[in-house]
Structure 1
Amino acid sequence: MSYLVDAQLPPALAQWLREAGYNEACAVRELGLRDADDGEIWKEAHARGLTVITKDEDFAQRAQTGAPGPQIIWLRIGNTSNAALRAWLLPRIPQIAALLAQGCRVVEVR
């Protein structure tokens, strides 16, 4: 799996994913997309085959319209520290990966 960490999440999340063995993880700013709108990020993620990790409901809504585009991991967690985000996300990764492998377009993570 290849991941694109959206702008409202810490870029350190992409680094952590790489360190955890997900070598194809990057933050939007690493692709020069830090100030890009959702549509541009959507197109770039789709073109590169990246799954978007986001807290932005707009991506989930766009994916549910059936429009061609990337898979979405929609994180439903409030503002938190990087360490708390990693601790919250880590035990959920196997289930997220399984749902994406089954072809789920949007994986909502609570």
Structure 2
Amino acid sequence: MKLLIDAQLPRRFAGWLAEAGHDALHTLDLPHKNRTPDAEIVALANQDGRIVVTKDDDFVQTYILNGEPSLLLISTGNISNAELEKLVRANLVAIENALSAHRFVEITRNTLVIHE
């Protein structure tokens, strides 16, 4: 998977996904870093075929209005980086499978939700 990790998530999140064999880019890797406007993130994701990984509801609204970008929404509330890593690693295969067939997937602390 090609992923673009939004600013609310730690840079090492991209590292975890890269270790699992994915092409993961964090907003800190972009020219405007974490100040990259959402519209630029959406444009880059669409241009490169990336899935935006975010906790930001603004991307959900963009998806609802425009059907883009492909989205993995992290809906865990406040969570430590260690807990987030454990959650993602435990569910990575299910996330991969869901995103291979669907454009909007959400993960909570307890479940994986496919929207569409």
When normalised by structure 1's length, the TM-score is: 0.88
| Higher normalized strand content (fraction of residues) | 2
Following superposition, the deviation at residue 76 of structure 1 comes to: 0.3
**2: CA distance, partners of 1:39 / 1:93:** 27
Which ranges in structure 1 are unaligned for 5 or more consecutive residues?
A: none
Q: Structure 2: 5+ residue runs without aligned partners?
A: 109-116
**Which residue, 80, 105, 108 being the options, matches 1:107?**
105
Q: Which amino acid aligns with 2:99?
A: L
Matched with 2:17 is 17
In 1: Cα distance, 2:44 partner to 2:37 partner? 11
Q: Which residue of 1 aligns with 2:84?
A: 85
Q: How many residues align?
A: 107
Q: Which protein has greater RCO, CA pairs closer than 8 Å, 6+ apart? A: 1
- Structure 1 stretches of 4+ moved >3 Å: none
CA distance in 2, matches of 1:31, 1:69: 20
Same amino acid, percent of matched pairs: 36
Q: Does 1:6 align with 2:18?
A: no
